[in-house]
Amino acid sequence: MVGVFLQLAARTLMMFTNTMPIFLFLYAISNIGAGLYLTAPFAMIAEVVEPQERPKYYGMLVTFKAVGSLLGPLITGGLMDTGFATLAFISYLPFLVLSVPFILALYPNRKTQRTTGGKFDLAGLLLLVISVTCVIFLLSLGGKSFKWLSPISVMLMVVGVVGIIALIRIENKHPNPSVAIRMFRKKRFTFAFLCSMFISAFASVFGAYVIVYAQQVMEVSSTLSSTASMPMTISQAIFGVIFGRYLGKKFSERFRPTALFSLLLVTFAMILVCLLRPTSSILLIYAASILGGIGTVVPQSAFANFFQTELKPEEIGAAQGMFSFGGTGGSCIFMAITGAMTNAGGTIYHVFILATAWCAAAFVIGFIGFRMPRESAEESR
């Protein structure tokens, strides 16, 4: 609940500010609030639902998330067109008013014994922010805003590397870490995390570079190019429930082939993107969007259930938070690397090829690591 109201407060204040630094600060606070509650549905489902039933409900989460992604732009666009642009910042308030009381009333408030001690790990959180920010600034701005071999570059590199080393050392010893580094000792979690990190390249490309390519190279209108990701969202809304129900019946047997098929679909979708030419039809983009949308359903809905099979109940929340960071962190790193590529003279085609390689790497990682223990497979029969 803290994250929900923190985001609402920040977004409300954003409605009344005209100063860019303050706006950016409030935007960061809003995203911190979102980060505090985005993983909550997965942890809540894991606590109140039996393991064999979780894929079905995780699939529903993907579906409703996709539906929200379709409704959000329509609602905010309507508010802006009718002269209520500032209300777009809190356009989700009606859903909030409905959901919060339901959660408070229906979600069991259980007092559990703490398995970890110690105060909140502020040092680990600050080290994460500082180190990631330095690396992203170096990759994004190096060679453009400052030279690669310059005092600023050296400073960013040193602070980033030292920060990451310090983060690993501190978080491994902290009894209640904010960044659960020790989760990487779990094999299934590590493979799922890496797949999520690499497959994030697909959404990153479709959210930015495909639209830029459609507008600047294919000379498609802004209105039409803005629909590039819409087939992906619709596919996720449809197949979220389908895959969730399918995997929920015999998860141990069906997870590996379904997950590999999904990763292969995303890779093939990126191959279609690499085939884009100035004379290509927007339908090619739509085809890639549909395939990628179907392919990203399983990582969003089933990977959590996969790595939860080797976790204790009290570890699920921390693991889910780290897993979510794998997707967002992977996207940040990918966009920073592509920024460095374009600053060095690379083209959008080079970005498409790199994204395809990232998605292919996710498939290889999944092929190696997505294996359920024999006892779980025997239980599902």
* pLDDT tens-digit readout, 233-250: 899 888 888 888 888 888
Q: Given a cut of 90, is residue 260 above it in pLDDT?
A: yes
Is CATH 1.10.10.60 what the domain over 186-380 is classified as, yes or no?
A: no
Three-state DSSP state, 157 = helix
Task: Report the amino acid identity of residue 350.
Answer: H
DSSP H helices, 82-121, are: 93-106
pTM: 0.79
355, with CB counted inside 10 A (0-12, 13-18, 19+), is: buried
The answer to whether the beta carbons of residues 269 and 288 sit under 8 Å apart is yes
Lowest-confidence region among 19-33, 71-85, 249-263, 277-291: 71-85
Percent of the chain surpassing pLDDT 70: 93
Domain residue ranges of the chain, discontinuous segments joined by +:
2-106, 121-177, 186-380
- Token couple for 104: 């408070």
Could you give the CA distance from residue 318 to residue 261 in angstroms, rounded to a whole number? Answer: 28
pLDDT of residue 265: 95
Between vectors from CA 304 to CA 299 and to CA 378, what angle results, nearest 5°?
Answer: 105
Reported confidence tier of residue 255, pLDDT bands at 50, 70, 90: very high
Convert the pLDDT of each residue in 299-346 to its tens digit: 988 898 898 888 887 788 778 878 887 888 888 889 888 988 887 888
Q: Is 375 exposed, middle or buried (0-12, 13-18, 19+ CB in 10 A)?
A: exposed
Give the per-residue pLDDT at 380.
47
